[in-house]
Amino acid sequence: MKKILLSIATLGALTSNIYADEISDLKAQVEALSKKVKKLEKNQKRTKKTLNKVKAHDANDNIKWDIDFRTAYQYLNYDRKNAPSIDNSSLFTNRLWLGMASSPLSGLVFKGQVAVYSTWGGNALPQNDPFQNVNWRASSKPDDITFKLRQAYFIYTFNQSSNHPITISAGRRAAADGFLANHREGNEKPGSPLAHITNMEVDAAMIKIGNAFGLEGSYIKFVAGRSYDNINQMSFQGTPYTSVDAPDSNVNFIVTPMTIYNDGQFDLMAQYTYIYDFMGANMTSGKPQTGAGDKHMGAISLEVNGLNEDSDFLDDSTFFISGAFTTTVPNSGYSMQGSTDTETGYSIWTGLIVPDMVIDGGHIGIEYNYGSKYWAPMTWAEDTVSGSKIATRGSAYEVYWNLPIAKKYFTAQIRYTYMDYDYKSNIEEFWADPELVDGDATSTQDLRIYLRYRY
């Protein structure tokens, strides 16, 4: 019996030693694996850091491209004073914006965009009038299939960490589809400046001061530029890019757009514009020319995003209202808008955009505009082929349905605009007497349906 017990004890000791050895080996293996995992994690961190550097390097070294392509059908109808009405029941257009952006350093950005806006099967429009062949709306009205420069400018911001960061910029930019007009154009974010008095393509320099009024979201911009250069008659006989027997003056402008307050729900903006050596009619020759006088414009606009947080419908609704004025001050020997006196026009613009309750993300908008006899904003690049509805001297009514088909990348819009003119439509002859004459449009209907791709 003692031998058996001794054998069992011996076997137990041997087994215990074997298990102890195995546990020791397992511990060694675990420690080795742990070291390998830590080494792999370190390598992974190094690799991730290297990839981030590569990505940052590539982002800075490359240009980011974007595409905005729209194809549209439009129906147009014009009722005219003492003349038959005119319509076009099948106007088709293509519009392509090819954008580019780069940022080699923090706070330094370049943005550019070339554009084609053409009619299906159309030829280049006649350019008999030098005032029609201007850069104000070069890519904002349907013409031919030639690429045109819509914008190219740099932005540099310094004092980024201060309470009043300062941004400088210069170049060509599309001051179109600005604040409030973005809804009718189907754009989520507005351009700059205020669309109520400015909707055109401009060449200018800008200084922006952030937190200008000490209120949330506030800033002010000081913009100076040129809208018309009188070197349309150029000499290359030893004096390139100078006028030859051209009495016209350069038309320059100063603009101060500003956000007074913006907390994400309430957005209050204002703008003042001064244009000197503006266009009018020479009383001696009767012809339009620059240097006729000065022009002042101003607007204040309020937008409310989200009308009631307790209602999903109202929380996704937007309301806006805007008031504006324009004043022309002709020089001696000139008339502006058919008058040799200082004349002031005014306008109101209001709109409501609500969810359509049919398609997720779809919205229906309703807008109303009114302009008085001498109302004359700079909105010739507005994307309504029948003319600027914002510049209507009379009443304009508009309804549109913005439809997301494939999120934000593929959208559609149906828009109907009716403009009822009490005076000239201000499409071209901004220097002329506003009174309607035979052949002038007394009302315009514009139906547009588009499909749009953005990426």
DSSP 116-145: EEEETT--PPP--STTTSSGGGTTTS-B-S
Lowest-confidence range among 110-114, 127-131, 188-192? 127-131
* pLDDT (tens digit per residue) in 74-103: 999 999 999 999 999 999 999 999 999 999
| Mean pLDDT in residue range 432-446 | 94
Please give the average per-residue pLDDT across 264-272, as a whole number.
97
Q: Kindly give the pairing relationship between strand 343-355 and strand 108-119.
A: unpaired
pLDDT at residue 323, as a whole number:
98
Q: Give the global pTM.
A: 0.83
Share of the chain above pLDDT 90, in %: 62
What average pLDDT does the structure give for the chain? 86
Confidence class for position 228, pLDDT limits 50, 70, 90: confident
> 193 pLDDT exceeds 90?
no
Q: What is the pLDDT of residue 432?
A: 84
What is the average per-residue pLDDT within 132-139?
A: 64
In contact, 223 and 255? CB cutoff 8 Å: yes
**Which CATH number applies to 65-454?**
2.40.160.10
Cα 47 from Cα 50, distance rounded (Å)? 5
- Poorest-pLDDT segment among 99-113, 142-156, 322-336, 421-435: 421-435
Reported as a single tens digit per residue, the pLDDT across 166-192 is 999 999 988 889 999 999 999 999 988
pLDDT-derived band at 21, boundaries 50, 70, 90: low
Which pLDDT belongs to residue 146? 87
Task: Count CB neighbours of 148 within 10 A.
Answer: 16
Domain residue ranges of the chain, discontinuous segments joined by +: 1-62, 65-454
Reduced DSSP (H G I as helix, E B as strand, rest coil) percent helix, strand, coil of the chain, to 5: 15, 50, 35
95 compared with 383, residue with greater pLDDT = 95
Lowest mean pLDDT among 75-84, 329-338, 381-390, 393-402: 381-390
pLDDT value of position 435? 94
